[in-house]
Structure 1
Amino acid sequence: MENHRNISEFILLGFSYGYNTKIFCFVFFLFCYIVLLGGNLLIIVSVHCSPLFNQPMYYFLIYLSTMDICYTSTVTPKLIGDLLVERKTISYSSCMIQIFTMHFFGGIEIFILVAMAYDRCIAICKPLHYMLIMSRTRCNLIVLASYAGASIHAIPLFSIAISLPFCGPNEIDHYFCDVFPLLKVACTDTHISGILIIAFSGILSLVVFSILLISYGIILYSLRNQSAEGRQKALSTCGSHITVVILFFTPSVFVYLRPPTTFPEDKILALFYTIIVPMFNPLIYTLRNTEMKNTLKKVWCQAFLSKEARN
């Protein structure tokens, strides 16, 4: 920890807008965060209180919703608070923790998306063996593997960030701490570090994105043998997954799979994978999913009726 003695905190430049625009952004991002928390908690509680919990896809959905909350909470509360202050600072320790937690929870999320794609592949391509293949034991192992994969992704990035020496400017042109913006203020040659970051973030995102697209391509190809009703049900479920994947991975691949530099547009693109997509996940998985809509009605109508009966 000797190499950062001259830097005890960083200044986050965030979004440089006028007062009225900042107030609008504050209200908008606060609304997004409340919707994100409420929507994902609604999914977690509803699935836990229904027979859907025994289905692998919804078992993974609980973890996806949990990671949405954890992942976004590493960035969004700080962003919302900073919109109300003139000088936006973050301590060195908090910056390093933010880098690790963001990439750790984000890593779990992308591997859970892979697990959900695998689950849909088995359900559509091998329906007779589905429950045998996707047993609860295997689902638990997949979740553990997601945690392990996220650690392999996050720990090297955290190690790169914590090894960087900072002795000069401490202004980060972003609204949260991330590895690429930190390279710009490090007082050392960061060429090798930039290549390593691309390997552990950009290439990982591209590989996972490609795997997901191939998986859904296989699913769509397999649907040609299904009945019209079966195709409609499968497309309803898979359509929501594909929407989430495209919205999440397109901006993240663009940001991390390129030479280690930053652009002003990066802050706008980062909003998609840190706030916007996690906020829309509950809507996408409920409004486009008949089983989830029926479950929400059943669980919360029963809860309301039982409360009325007690009164």
Structure 2
Amino acid sequence: MPRARVAVFISGSGTNMAALLYASRAADCPYEIVLVLSNNPDASGLKLAEAEGVATFCLPHKGIARADHDAMMEAQVLKSGARYIALAGYMRILTPEFVGRWKNRMLNIHPSLLPKYKGLHTHDRAIEAGDSHGGCTVHLVTAELDDGPVLGQTPVAIIPGDTGDTLAARVLFAEHQLYSRTLAAYVAREFDAGWLLEKVRALADALPQVEERESHGAPGWRVGGKYFAYFNDQHHGTPQIALLVKTSGQDELAALIEQDPDVWFRPAYYGASGWAGLTLNRPDVDWDHAADWLRRSWAAVAPRRLAAMLEF
């Protein structure tokens, strides 16, 4: 499995960045830190990253329009080849346009158990509210501050006599463990057969009158009693986890493979009948493309009265 390339944004000491970086040094870690960026030239985390051999970039934001600053930072991320961004104490609100371009590929860590205590002074607010626990949350970044889908949380007990500072110190330990673990699980899902199957199942089930039925040990989907798709989990010793769909025949199958051999392949046994394998265990799967092929394959076998239900 190729390691996912991650860029980290910081504004200060970068302790969460350091936790992500050192976790990435494990042989089985599914990500690597390829770039650390900051809006603060005095951020000590930059020096740490440089000492560890990680590329850095700094662009002070003063005097630069927010959208322009975001664009210049993003240009460096793209140049590095990073596919994910991890915000780790980055004290800048990002523009909705920038966030939108990185939808589902930008993570943040927040020092509370979201949805509680969005924003600042989270530990003091938890103590003042009489909560039994504070904690931290890793979530996907959306345009609304601290409001993205939660990926992981760790509660931290509030001890009698705690202050915001004493609670923050313990929560930081939890952050360092939670962030690396959650990031690793999130980037690895793209190569997990169970997660990929659920993605395919959701797309197939959205089509009219679909029945899921196992065929030769593999999940398959039928309409009108005929199969239009299968899920192939490295069957017959092949490395691909794939969606199998119908083509018009051998000529189209060969053309697809020739055009993009990293995406398409000829599946064992099924390929002889013109079925094509759409590889899923690879970076940047275009799920709209997969959905289009599922609809086309469905239409190829659906009774005419049903095929009229979908527009192509």
Same fold (TM over 0.5): no
Q: Which has the larger radius of gyration?
A: 2
TM-score tier after normalising by the smaller chain length: under 0.3
Name the structure where strand makes up a greater proportion of residues.
2
Give the number of the structure whose residues are more often helix, by fraction.
1
Q: TM-score, normalised by structure 1?
A: 0.24
